[in-house]
């Protein structure tokens, strides 16, 4: 394995006893010089290999610190501190002639990263934050790491030690397809498809001010195979896990060189992701041509059995949505047209003036000439007494005004309409 501090290879091929090894790594920042993923780790030896990615958590670690290089978020700093510590410590621990104790290594890395992050936080001399939230953390980052050891000299069987914290992932690809090696540390965990559809908070992240665990798993792999470590910017914005596998293998199928394969992946991820993205990729037991031949049947299977049905279903939904949108526009246009034709008659009286012209106002009820003088001579409220046509001998209460809706008909029949006939 390369000595600590030496530059990790980014692209190229090297030869092992089990066959040529193809490798590349990249780090894509959405904002130049501000990306919160660190450069990946990619170390290759005759019987050893080391891959890792680190994703600084921008939401939880959004606090900005002043540094000699300018303002930097806690997420930016955390991923780089953790990367440097892990690379240095793993180079010390990985040896070709003894078996790595994975669980002890997980505890070792946890302690080393915690100490380095606490020290870095103290160096930043940041004032204590007044904010209190379970979501805020000091220098938070994720990690996904694979350390590989050849089990027998010159053999093609490898022990793959997987260590991780958070939702960055490690995968292995073989002739049967992609296999996820890590479990996403989420507050509301689900499988890979569910986690694409339902965003959840990371429940276990490396940080300076909270406790965390480094998870461990060991699997054995038979060459040829491909190991990939990736942050969620690589796989979190595709339609399905099948699409991520197809993305990686179809770009391999179409590439003539390792550099072309890496560049095509970077272009596609940059075009679709909404986040920074880092990946470290390593293949054992095959050169580029052999890898293309190994995965060609798998790409055809994915396209026929997974992508075609999914894409057909998605296209059907999009077509139905377009049809529904057209029908909604038609409904709106029809409603407007019918209403405009109906509206003038419906609102005919709403647009008249509330003022009544003088000549059209109410007129007084005319009175007979005979009654006028007599009525005028009586005091107010009095009527001529019965048998006193002159109206001077007595007074009597005025009879109630007749109710026009309850008067008897002229022929003596009962009145029509409502009311009490008695």
How many other CB atoms are there within 10 angstroms of residue 23's CB atom?
A: 25
- 65 in Cβ contact with 126 (< 8 Å): yes
Non-local CB neighbours of 374 within 8 Å, separated by 6+ positions: 384, 391
How far is it, in rounded angstroms, from Cα 30 to Cα 266?
12
pLDDT tens digits, one per residue of 175-218: 999 999 999 999 988 899 999 888 889 999 999 999 999 999 99
Closest CA to 25 of 346, 281, 327, 272: 281
The pair of three-digit structure tokens given for residue 177, joined into one six-digit string: 């397809």
**Rounded mean pLDDT of 354-359?**
65
Confidence of residue 50 (pLDDT cuts 50, 70, 90): very high
Lowest mean pLDDT across 14-18, 269-273, 278-282:
14-18
Identify the residue with better confidence: 173 or 189.
173
Rounded to the nearest 5 degrees, what angle is found at the Cα of 194, between the Cα atoms of 188 and 195? 60
User: For the chain, what is the largest distance between any 2 Cα atoms, rounded to a whole number of angstroms?
Assistant: 146
From first CA to last CA, the distance across the chain in angstroms is 117
- Residue 96's pLDDT is 81
Complete domains list, the chain, with CATH: 11-295 (3.60.40.10)
Closest CA to 279 of 7, 1, 8: 8
Query: What residues are paired with 283 via a beta bridge?
Result: 22, 226
pLDDT over 70, % of the chain: 76
**Rounded mean pLDDT of 128-134?**
55
pLDDT tens digits, one per residue of 383-396: 555 545 444 444 55
DSSP state of 416: P
- 196 in Cβ contact with 240 (< 8 Å): yes
The angle that helices 258-272 and 241-254 make with each other, rounded to 10 degrees, is 140
> If you count them, how many residues does the chain have?
422
How far is it, in rounded angstroms, from Cα 240 to Cα 312?
14
How many other CB atoms are there within 10 angstroms of residue 303's CB atom?
A: 14
- 235 in Cβ contact with 244 (< 8 Å): yes
How far is it, in rounded angstroms, from Cα 391 to Cα 31?
109
CA dihedral sign, ordered 8, 11, 15, 20: positive
Helix, strand or coil for residue 58? coil
Element (H, E) at 168: none
CA dihedral sign, ordered 131, 137, 138, 141: negative
């Amino acid at each position: 394995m390369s000595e600590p501090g030496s530059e990790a290879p980014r692209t190229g091929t090297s030869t092992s006893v089990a066959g040529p090894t193809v490798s590349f790594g990249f780090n894509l920042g959405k904002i130049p010089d501000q990306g919160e993923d660190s450069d990946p780790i990619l170390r290759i030896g005759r019987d050893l290999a080391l891959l890792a990615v680190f994703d600084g958590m921008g939401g939880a670690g959004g606090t900005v610190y002043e540094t000699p290089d300018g303002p930097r978020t806690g997420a930016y700093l955390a991923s780089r501190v953790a990367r440097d510590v892990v690379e240095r410590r793993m180079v010390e621990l990985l040896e070709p002639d003894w078996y790595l104790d994975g669980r002890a290594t997980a505890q070792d890395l946890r302690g080393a990263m915690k100490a380095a992050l606490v020290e870095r936080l103290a160096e930043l001399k940041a004032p204590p934050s007044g904010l209190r939230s379970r979501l805020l953390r000091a220098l938070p980052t994720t990690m996904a790491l694979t350390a590989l050891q050849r089990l027998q000299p010159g053999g093609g069987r490898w022990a793959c030690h997987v260590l991780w914290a958070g939702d960055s992932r490690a995968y292995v690809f073989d002739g049967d397809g992609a296999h996820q090696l890590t479990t996403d540390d989420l507050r509301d965990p689900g499988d890979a498809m569910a986690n694409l559809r339902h965003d959840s908070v990371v429940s276990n992240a490396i940080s300076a001010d909270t406790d965390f665990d480094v998870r461990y798993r060991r699997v054995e792999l038979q060459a040829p195979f491909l190991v990939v470590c990736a942050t969620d910017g690589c796989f979190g914005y595709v339609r399905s896990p099948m699409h991520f596998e197809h993305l990686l293998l179809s770009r391999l199928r179409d590439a003539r060189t390792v550099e072309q394969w890496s560049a095509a992946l970077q272009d596609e991820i940059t075009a679709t992701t909404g986040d920074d993205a880092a990946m470290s990729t390593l293949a054992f037991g095959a050169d580029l041509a052999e890898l293309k031949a190994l995965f060609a049947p798998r790409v055809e299977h994915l396209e026929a059995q997974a992508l075609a049905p999914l894409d057909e279903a998605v296209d059907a939904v999009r077509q139905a949505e377009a049809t529904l949108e057209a029908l909604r526009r038609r409904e709106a246009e029809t409603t407007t047209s019918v209403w405009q034709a109906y509206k003038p008659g419906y609102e005919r009286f709403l647009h008249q003036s509330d003022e009544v012209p003088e000549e059209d106002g109410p007129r007084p009820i005319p009175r007979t000439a005979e009654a006028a003088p007599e009525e005028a001579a009586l005091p107010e409220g009095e009527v001529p007494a019965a048998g006193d046509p002159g109206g001077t001998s007595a007074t009597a209460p005025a009879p109630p005004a007749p109710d026009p809706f309850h008067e008897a008909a002229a022929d003596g029949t009962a009145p029509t309409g409502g009311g009490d006939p008695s």
